[in-house]
Structure formats: structure tokens, C-alpha cells
Amino acid sequence: MLTLRQIRTDKEQTLLRLAKKGVDAAPVIEKIEAADDARKTLQQELDKNLAEQNAIAKQIGLLFKEGKTEQANALKARTVELKEESKLKEEAMNEAIEQIDALIVTLPNVAAEIVPAGRSAQDNLCVRQGGEIPALYQGAVPHWDLCARYDIVDFELGVKLTGAGFPVYKGKGARLQRALINYFVDCNTAEGYTEIMPPLMVNEASGFGTGQLPDKEGQMYHATLDNFYLIPTAEVPVTNIFRDVIVEGKDLPIKLTAYTPCFRREAGSYGKDVRGLNRLHQFDKVEIVEVASPENSYERLEAMVAHVESIVRSLGLPYRILRLCGGDMSFTSALTYDFEVYSAAQGRWLEVSSVSNFESFQANRLKLRYRDENRKTQLAHTLNGSSLALPRIVAAILENNQTPEGIVVPEVLRAFCGFDIID
């Protein structure tokens, strides 16, 4: 979340950068300022009361020594009044603090200066494109037909077992899935990321720490009896490793990677854009997470983008990298790059990765700090990226590599798969 200091000392820039996301934050910030002014006034009154109580305590001792009992008792009565006043003021100040906190968490992260203006995906900026869009043979079909033809993903069986959006991978489809997971994790560990195997359910504090709660509770599966949430991404448990932690500046950046299944309700999703593997309620994803110092976080963001790009390129998939406009960014992000691969049989681009810098937004919620070279503590920056999400990668591989003889497996995956073609 934003810091109170950020809001009060850099109000105009905060308003401008939130406006980039299409948020008119002025009414909320006015309420925050009013509550903070009230808090400051109450704190001054409490300090004044405490000073008076301390002064009275000294006077009472002297009066008793001088035998002026009546005057001493009168001052003692005043002390009781001051304590009662202070109690009421403390309660009012705590209410003001709670009001400030409740208002601040409703504000999204501010957009970075280089975020393009815009309201929707149509306003995103393509910063780079690579690979060649394949010319498919006559009779090529979308991946959902290929899945049925080669019996590698069974959507109907998933409906029987659970519901729509929970596919069953079979035979070479399951093997391809494991191959991609292992390949992605190996690419990440080779780049210096430490592998983590986190829980697949998190508590409410973890959901708050990374910004899923209270913003996205409607998109998360909730185990109400235990008040646990199925994770929408490994970002949540992995980043929360650092909740209430002070790390040493010399250890930054800290780089972690994790493979997990991910669970998203995706309420309201329907139509042709969600057919097959295009949008699922359960899917596999490999994630990278970094904790960095503020002065190096954007350098680390570019390094993460380059790393994800190298993986996509190695799969032989046509891709493009988009810098998201303010209106298409997430609640928590300061700057996001989306990766899309081209699905030849569907004739459209499919998002397969988001790589984001959250600056100190998550760190403030997490109370994640680092100790700098002067031994002072300050908020760290957090970053994360999909490296990569599997369903649409699989869709693009199946569609783009289909031939009359079968689906050719990308060369880098063959050692992991144990076969060269799905036929």
C-alpha cells in the first residue's frame, strides 16, 4: 500500500500517477489528510496532558512533604481528570489511525512515470517483438481440436470430475506439461533463482501482504472453515516469506522461483476467448520473485524481462512484449510488461507472462524492510513475473507446430519429454 508520508509529502505527484490508472484519488486523500490532521491534534493534546500529569506528580510530592494535604489531594483529583481525558483522546486517536489505514488500502499503487496513458489493452505499448508467425498447412485446427485428436487433454472429463476450467492432461499431454515445468524451473535456477516449493493455500495475512486481499477476494477460492485461500499464483506465498522481515542490503537482490498449480475463479469469464486452454480455473505456472533495493529495482525488472524473453524465444514461439498502460495495470503494480505469444490457428495473441515492479507497495503491506550500508532500515522493492504460465504456451506450441504427421515438440523440450512428436 502507499505510505502516509508518500501521500502527504508528494500529494500532487501521487494524484497524477494514480490518475494514470484512471483513479480519481482526491476525495480519498482528502479524507486521509483530515483523519491524519485529527490524529496529530489528538497526539499534541495527549502530549500536553502527559506533561501536565508529570508536572502535577512532582508538585504533589512537594505538597505532601510540606504538609499541604488538601492542595495535594486537589491536584490528585486533577490527575484523575487528565487520565480520563487522555483515555478518551487515545481512543479517538486510534479510531483516526484505523480510518487512515482503512482508506489507504483502498488506493492502488501509483503508476511509474514511463507507464503510457490509456484506459484499456488497446492502449498498451508494444516495446519489442520477435520470432516469425508460422504459415500453417491447410486443414490446421485450434488446440482444443488437437487435444481431442491426439487424446492429450480431456476437457469433458475435467467437467465430470470438477467443472469447466479444470482439464485433465493425458499421455503425451501430461508429459509435455511436466517437461515445460522442469524446463522453466531449470532455466530459472540457471539464472540464479533459488527454487522454492511453497504451500498451495495461504492465510488472510498473506493475501493482504501481496495485495490480493481485500482487492481480489472474489477471484480467489476460499476454504471458509479454516479461512485459507487457494493461491492464484506462487507470488503470494513466495513473497510472503519476507513478511515482517528485515533483510541485509548486501544480500539484495534476493531471487526465488517456484512451480505451483494456480487457482482462479475468473468470475464472469465466458465466450470464445476462454475456450480450451485459453482461460482455466486451475493451471500450472512457474514464477520468479525478487526483492531488491529501490535504486536497483528497475534494473532488475529489465533483467527479468530479458530472462523471460530468452525462454519464450528458445521455444520458437512468435512473441511481443507490451508495456501496459495505466488503465490495464493491476492494483498493485507500478510498471508491468506483458508477454504475448501468437496463436496461429486462432489468429490472435495470447498473454503468457506478466513481469512487474511493485516498488514499495507490497513491501509496505508486508512490513518488508532492508538494512542499508548505514544500518538504517527502509522499505524494499518487490518484483515478480510468470516464467512461464503453461496453458497458453501449450496452446501456442500445439497450434504453431502442428503438421499433417503430428505436433512437433520444440527442440529444447525433447530431452525433457522423451519424444519428438505428438502423433
Question: Each residue's pLDDT tens digit in the chain (423 positions)?
Answer: 999 999 999 999 999 999 999 999 999 999 999 999 999 999 999 999 999 988 998 888 888 888 888 888 888 888 898 999 999 999 999 999 999 999 999 999 999 999 999 999 999 999 999 999 999 999 999 999 999 999 999 999 999 999 999 999 999 999 999 999 999 999 999 999 999 999 999 999 999 999 999 877 889 999 999 999 999 999 999 999 999 999 999 999 999 999 999 999 985 555 556 899 999 999 999 999 999 999 999 999 999 999 999 999 999 999 999 999 999 999 999 999 999 999 999 999 999 999 999 999 999 999 999 999 889 999 999 999 999 999 999 999 999 999 999 999 999 999 999 999 999
Q: Does 353 show up as a binding residue in the annotation?
A: yes
Same domain (yes/no): 90, 154 = no
Q: Is residue 115 part of a domain?
A: no
Task: Give the Cα separation of 421 and 423 in Å (integer).
Answer: 6
- In this structure, the answer to whether residues 49 and 170 fall within a common structural domain is no
* 110 assigned ligand-binding residue: no
Q: Are residues 24 and 165 in the same domain?
A: no
Judge if 99 and 126 occupy the same domain.
no
> Are 95 and 176 in a shared domain?
no
Pair (273, 163) in one structural domain: yes
CATH of the domain at 341: 3.30.930.10
Within-domain flag for 262:
yes
Among 74, 104, 134, the domain boundary falls at: 104
313 belongs to a structural domain:
yes
Is 384 marked as binding a ligand?
yes
Q: Is 233 known to sit in a ligand binding site?
A: yes
In whole angstroms, give the CA distance from residue 244 to residue 30: 30
| Residues 166 and 261 occupy one common structural domain | yes
* 61 and 163 both lie in a single domain: no
382 annotated as ligand-binding? no
What is the pLDDT, as a whole number, of residue 78?
Answer: 87
CA atoms lying within 13 Å on the CB side of residue 27:
3
178 is in an annotated binding site: no
How many domains does one find in the chain?
2
**Grid coordinates representing 36?**
491524519
* Residue 266 in marked binding region: yes
Q: Is 287 annotated as a binding residue?
A: yes
